[in-house]
Amino acid sequence: MWTTIGQYVGGKVVTAILVVSGAAAIIWAWNNPEKIETIWLTVKYAVAWIAFVIVLPWGLFFMTPWVMSKESNMAAALLLVGFLLIDVIVALLLMGSVTGHNFLTWCVLLLGFLSAGVYNFKVCEFQAVRFEEA
């Protein structure tokens, strides 16, 4: 019985919070249309960069077997560093400039660069395993 009452009241509270915050977001967006454009531009650039990061190691899939044929850890490291360097350059080009950004922006960028590096490593590792099996 208490569970049912708690779920009912909790559902009403959550619904009220969502309605009030949704209304506040709409009012804020209505009063600040120039900031909405900036937010959408940022989201568009972020999605474009993420798509680029996802496609890069798959688009250059032929590099992994070539690097594996070298049988060198240095060649593998240079491949990964090259992928990461390309990702960083594209991100900085999308930003427009490296000046005028706050600390949070740089923290998000560094987190994105770390994520891109790990993603590149995992994709190259997957491609290497697939190449060895073939």
Q: What is the pLDDT of residues 81-104, one digit of tens each?
A: 999 999 999 999 999 888 888 898
Q: What is the pLDDT of residue 98?
A: 81
Contact 28, 20 (CB under 8 A): no
Q: Which domain holds residue 10?
A: 1-31
Integer Cα distance of 30 and 24 in angstroms: 10
CA dist 9 to 1, 15, 23, 95, Å?
A: 12, 10, 21, 46
State the pLDDT at residue 114.
96
Same domain, 63 and 122: yes
The verdict on 44 and 5 lying in the same domain is no
Phi, psi of 92 (to 5 degrees): -70, -35
Report the largest interatomic distance among the alpha carbons of the chain, rounded to a whole angstrom: 69
111 and 51 in a common domain:
yes
* 118 in the same domain as 77: yes
CA distances to 1, 6, 37 from 10, in Å: 14, 6, 35
Of 92, 94, 109, 91, nearest to 53 (Cα)? 91
Q: What is the mean pLDDT of residues 108-133?
A: 94
Whether residues 89 and 128 share a domain: the answer is yes
Distance CA 83, CA 20 (A): 45
Note whether 57 and 17 are same-domain residues. Answer: no
- What's the pLDDT tens digit per position in 20-78? 998 888 888 888 888 888 888 888 999 999 999 999 999 999 999 999 999 999 999 99
Q: Same structural domain for residues 67 and 127?
A: yes
Q: How many domains does the chain have?
A: 2
Are residues 91 and 109 located together in one domain of the fold?
A: yes
